Amino acid sequence: MRRLAFTLIELLVVIAIIAIVAAILFPVVMRAKGSAKQSQCLSNLKQIGEAIGLYMADSDDKWPRGVDPADKYTPEIWDAFPDFQKQIPDIPLMHDLLIGYCPSKKVWQCPADKGQLIDDISFHLLDTRPSSYEKYGTSYYYRTELTVRSLTGTSLRDIASVNVYFDGSGAWHTNGQLLYPTDDFDQVEQKLRGYRYNVLFGDLHAKNVTRADYMAAWSEPVDH
């Protein structure tokens, strides 16, 4: 007589095999999703770079006179530049300034954007949850020093090494956690070490870089 049902042992074996296969495939799927988000984010930055290039072509090669949410909502980061700090309330956010050159609002949304609580450059409190895009209209932040110093594209000493635009947080394109106000020094250092950033450079090429390379770009002088 033909047996039609699985025994309990056979069912357990099948379940175990499925669990093993799922455990193998899950990280692969997650990496693929992460790579897709990273690629989309880099594409966004390249389009923003094209918009910046068009703006500069119409503005005597000057970098856009705009600010990012960190400038706007934590203006204390510009205490050393009081004249500029006073002007911040009247300066538009970059994604509003460039709307004529980059009309798609979606370009300003990183698909990996999960917000942040602390800016991981200035280390000031900056709560952008649930996402920077949802709260402020952009996932990307600007090296506003280019505007503060009224620089032009040709005034940069090493245009390919200066970071111009970048992700709001290095945690977005890693499995790392966001920085929390309760973190101690060792926790902050450990988290930052694993961070990666998508960055638009001065020559308008975009690249995913480590925290160390990101900080090296920040250390690059912007003028001769």
State the DSSP code for 1: -
Given this model, what pLDDT does residue 155 score?
Answer: 87
Is 99 contained in some domain?
A: yes
Q: Is residue 174 part of a domain?
A: yes
pLDDT of residue 5: 57
In a domain, 224, yes or no: no
Query: What would the pLDDT profile of 126-158 be if each residue is shown by its tens digit?
Result: 999 999 999 999 999 999 999 999 999 888 889
32: pLDDT strictly greater than 50: no
Per the DSSP assignment, residues forming a β-bridge with 93 are: 67
Into how many domains does the chain fold? Answer: 1
Q: Are 73 and 132 in contact (CB under 8 A)?
A: no
CA distance 57 to 61: 6
Task: Summarize pLDDT for 40-71 with one digit per residue, the tens.
Answer: 999 999 999 999 999 999 999 999 999 999 99
CA distance 56 to 77: 26
The partner residues of 118 in beta bridges, in order of sequence, read 125
Range of the domain at 157: 8-219
Residue type, 168: G
For residues 164-179, average pLDDT: 94
Q: Dump pLDDT digits (tens) for 181-217.
A: 999 999 999 999 999 999 999 999 999 999 999 999 9
Predicted pLDDT of residue 127: 95
User: Structure pTM?
Assistant: 0.84
36 in a structural domain: yes
CA–CA separation, 170 and 52 (whole Å): 23
> Would residue 2 count as lying in a domain?
no
Quick check: is 3 in a domain?
A: no
What is the C-alpha separation between 11 and 32, in angstroms, rounded?
Answer: 31
